[in-house]
Structure 1
Amino acid sequence: MSAITIEHQPSEARLKELGVGHWPIWEKEASEFPLDFDETETAYVLEGEIIVTPVGGEPVRIVPGDLVVFPEGLETDWQVVKPLRKHYRHG
């Protein structure tokens, strides 16, 4: 299973190319919960901080300005450290 991939501070051109500004926004208060991905999700973090730990893997810290890909089939535990606000796209 592939891992979480993070692109730190992608350019405005890259975000525009992906259409990130048109993706829906998801918000979550500080909390901890399991999250399994039944399809690939690409997310761009606007606010907050999360620590995502793949089952059997190392924790990954994700902060504003990160463009993140969570692959299909990934099983994770999420710790929302600071309230989260992110754009996301499935598939």
Structure 2
Amino acid sequence: MATSSSTPESSSNFGIIIECNPPDSKLSELGIKSWPKWGCPPGKYTFKYNAEETCYLLKGKVKVFPKGSSEFLEFGARDLVIIPKGITCTWHVSVAMDKYYKFDSSSTPSSSFDT
């Protein structure tokens, strides 16, 4: 689970990296505000990542369950998250979410929505 420090947290099992409350200078350097935005209401969303995604959550709270695991990672507003290419996971969104996002190529993840 993400903590309140600004040190990146990662799970070697999943390859997901979470940086809580990164400094504005880092967000500016990444050009976050020029990235597309995506949002969703509470629900379950399954994604297969064909490309690495970097996202910055503006609001919301989510638990991510990698396929085949009962373990999860939790993150929310003001977290910078990197999700590796090749992972399939289900997002359990408990609080409506808005995020900026960027993929490392023109590929996007396939998804299905279970609400």
Give the counterpart letter for 2:85 in structure 1: E
- Select between 49-58 and 35-44 the one with higher mean Cα deviation: 49-58
Matches within 5 A, 1:1-91: 3-57=15-69, 58-91=71-104
Q: Secondary structure at the match of 1:38?
A: coil
* Higher RCO (C-alpha under 8 Å, 6+ residues apart): 1
Larger Rg: 2
Match of 1:89, SS state, is strand
Segments of 4+ moved more than 3 angstroms? none
Structure 2 residues not aligned, in runs of 5+:
1-12, 105-115
Percent same amino acid at aligned positions? 32
Q: Secondary structure at the match of 1:72?
A: coil
Output the CA distance in 1 between the equivalents of 2:85 and 2:14: 9
TM-score by length of 2: 0.75
Alpha-carbon distance between aligned partners in 2 of 1:17 and 1:33, rounded to the nearest angstrom: 30
Whole-angstrom distance in 1 between the partners of 2:91 and 2:46: 6
* CA distance, structure 2, for counterparts of residue 56 and residue 44 of structure 1: 25
Alignment deviations for residues 24-76 of structure 1 (CA, whole Å, 9 cap, x no partner): 11011111121111100000000011111111342111110100000000110
Shift of 1:3: 1.3
What SS does structure 2 have at the residue aligned with 1:56?
Answer: coil
- Report the aligned-residue RMSD: 1.2
Q: Secondary structure at the match of 1:84?
A: strand
Greater share of strand residues, 1 or 2?
A: 1
